[in-house]
Amino acid sequence: MLIDAHSHLDRYDLEDEGALESAIAEITQFRIFTISNSMDLVSYRRNLEISEICEWVLPVFGVHPWNAPFYVDCLKEISEAIDQSPIIGEIGLDHYFVEDDSAYPDQRKVLEYCLSAAREQGKIVILHTKGAEKEILDLLDQYEIQRVIVHWYSGSMDIFRELTARNAYFTVGIEVLYSKHIQTLAQEIPSRQLLTETDNPGGPKGFIGKSGMPGLLKDVIRGIAQARDTTNEALVETVHANLVELTQGDPWLIDAHQRLLEE
């Protein structure tokens, strides 16, 4: 079983006709347990529908920082989705791609609302940290968040080491094939805190020139394995074991944990 711990399957609806069907076929063919992150309520509802079609998909709810301004004044509207979701993601801050700093307070308010819920409900959070790594680190401490998956980390090594010391998990994706910095991070992530991702379909576009499909995960695995001087097979086993460990004993993830154990 392969692990794609960060994808956005609902976004295939924006691609060519039949793209979602093709993606689901690849997920099934390659046995890819896929966490499909949401960016807002609309995408979450679509991810729920996709999970009914494909048993390999775990849909989770979050408000992406790019969408925070649309929800900052109606946070109660997302409470039901937060309560329903077994993991809260994708949430976070973006001070890199979002250059208008007037949006930053909205991002923080929405993130803090989600972190507060995660603390109360004992849920894993999946974090977007671009350009705001230190602020997020401080918020994790403030809200006493114990279980974290950091998506596509590309920040400084000092904050990276602070996060690893707090037992954060890290998803590594397609950039490992192109970036020395990401390769260094992939080498240094403790084995028990490493996960794989694609960020499909949009995330890989800047690297491969087209939308990513689930089978791209095999290239990601190859790149991480090379960076860590191990075999593809050993890496797959490590990542699978890590997600099994992360979900074990979590009352929100009983079904997902059982699915991961079905070899």
Query: Does 15 score more than 70 pLDDT?
Result: yes
Tell me how many domains the chain contains.
1
Rounded CA separation 102/134 (Å): 19
Query: Does 238 score more than 80 pLDDT?
Result: yes
Q: Which of 248, 196, 188, 168 is closest to 3 using CA atoms?
A: 196
Are 8 and 202 a contacting pair, CB within 8 Å? yes
Give pLDDT tens digits for 37-53: 999 999 999 999 999 99
Q: Within 13 A of 184's CA, how many CA atoms are on the CB side?
A: 10
- For all residues of the chain together, what is the average pLDDT? 97
**CATH number of the structural domain spanning residue 80:** 3.20.20.140
Query: Does 262 score more than 90 pLDDT?
Result: no
Residue type, 86: P
Region of 181 on the Ramachandran plot (φ > 0 left; ψ -120 to 50 alpha; else beta): alpha
Output the pLDDT for position 263. 65
For residue 230, give every residue at least 6 positions away whose Cβ sits within 8 Å of its Cβ, in sequence order, or none: none
Rounded CA separation 223/217 (Å): 10
Q: Which of 55, 118, 102 is closest to 252 using CA atoms?
A: 118
φ, ψ for residue 189 (rounded to 5)?
-60, 125
Neighbours of 66 (CB within 10 A): 16
How is residue 185 written in tokens?
């991070």
Q: How many residues does the chain have?
A: 263
Task: Using pLDDT thresholds of 50, 70 and 90, give the confidence band for residue 203.
Answer: very high
Q: Which of 89, 171, 163, 173 is closest to 127 using CA atoms?
A: 89
**CA 41 vs CA 52, 96, 116, 211: distances in Å:** 17, 24, 19, 23
Query: Does 32 score more than 90 pLDDT?
Result: yes
Output the pLDDT for position 154. 97
Q: Within 13 A of 201's CA, how many CA atoms are on the CB side?
A: 17
Q: Which domain holds residue 172?
A: 2-260
Query: Does 127 score more than 70 pLDDT?
Result: yes
